[in-house]
Amino acid sequence: MTNNSFIKPAGRIASFKPYYFATLAKKISQLQENGVDVIKIDMGSPDLPPEKFIIDKLTQSAALPDKHGYTPMGGSLEYRKAIAYYYEKRFGVKLDPSTETVGLIGSKEGLFNMTQVLVNPGDYVIVPDPGYPVYSASTKIAGGIIYTLPLLKENGFLPDLSSIPQEIIQKTKLFWINYPNNPTGAIAPFSFFEKIVDFAKRNQIIIAHDAPYVDVCFDDYIAPSLLQVEGAKDVAVEFNSLSKSYNMAGWRLGMAVGNADIIGYIHTYKSQMDSSQFAPVIDAGIAAITGDQSWLSSRNTIYQTRRDIVVNGLKEAGFEVDTPPAAIYIWAKLPDGFEDSMFFCNQLLEDTGVSMTPGVVYGQYGEGYLRVSLGTKTERIQEAMERIKLWMKAK
């Protein structure tokens, strides 16, 4: 740290703290240096690789001499056509590749950019709590005002639209939803999607649906797209990603689809700040979303096995847990006698070497919970549960 007192951050980011997982990574590194065997079931990063044909496409494309220059910002037309193909085949939703799709460098980038292109200082943004932190962070940076909408267990972790004061509705520009949900694993019935589209149209509010887990489903559940609702494209944009669906988190391939005006704003904004991805990565992404999808079922079976191990293990340890039908997370209420999720997870990590995510990271209504990720080898997840059960018995 220098002593140049005139060097200060912009006011819009001055109050920001480092991303929780960045801070956690430093702590885990220190524990590992001290010989602790750490089992990470915190961050939602898949441990399994993409299917072989996807990797083969990457390597084949990278060997071509004309694949190493800049690629079209917002994804090649071929990639955008592939996105439209995927949406029609998977959801029966027709999209114009040129105007209703845009490629993203991972969907997180798109979530942030959505707020920047729509929200003016003083605009209200409805943010679910618990929820993915970028919804709130992007709003603060844009100068918007956050209205926190609780997601409560008694309401199936769905937002209660009737609870929003009319004066807030009148000031709201943007409304975030996310199903299958991170961190709770909750799902939304199609009737809810119909209800929120109607709500948005009546109140002239834009809906942003964060949907990266639609292809990680269990027990014969099939997640819908918000865009399957008639007229949804009038008011909504949906974000999707290859990160979780195709085990391609580090490849940074995502998409935004829906309302053509908003897609155009995102495309223009991106033209000022990025130069898209490496062409072979895009080619592999095209192969992933247009090629054989049958392997996703066997991959989901692995996640389902892990889900059941975690749910049963945490219940035996005294947690209150529901069995999620989708996504790669378990949302567990702390056992009786424990309320501070940050303290609980810190002590658990130090005492057992098991790293889980405190619920309060996702908002005030996440306090009293913790989140477990299924993106770790099955045998390590089983060992983590055994460590937790032994630790809780000693409490």
Taking the chain (395 residues) in runs of 10, the rounded mean pLDDT of each run is 74 80 88 94 93 98 95 94 98 98 96 97 98 96 97 97 97 98 97 98 98 97 98 98 96 97 96 91 98 97 98 97 97 94 96 96 96 97 98 88
pLDDT per residue as tens digits for the range 133-169: 999 999 999 999 999 999 999 999 999 999 999 999 9
Distance from chain centroid for Cα 158: 16
Q: How many whole angstroms from its chain centre is CA 352?
A: 28
pLDDT at 19: 76
- pLDDT for 8 equals 84
| pLDDT number for residue 3 | 65
**Residue labelled with tokens 């895009």:** 282
pTM, whole model, 2 decimals? 0.95
Q: Domains of the chain by range and CATH?
A: 20-49+295-393 (3.90.1150.10), 67-290 (3.40.640.10)
Tokens of 189: 């019935």
| CA proximity to 245, closest of 189, 185, 193, 297 | 297
Query: Residue 5 has what pLDDT?
Result: 77
Per-residue model confidence (pLDDT) at position 21: 82
Cα–Cα distance between 357 and 155 in angstroms, integer?
A: 23
Integer Cα distance of 118 and 120 in angstroms: 7
**The CA-based dihedral angle spanning residues 107, 112, 113, 117, taken in that order and rounded to the nearest 10 degrees:** 140
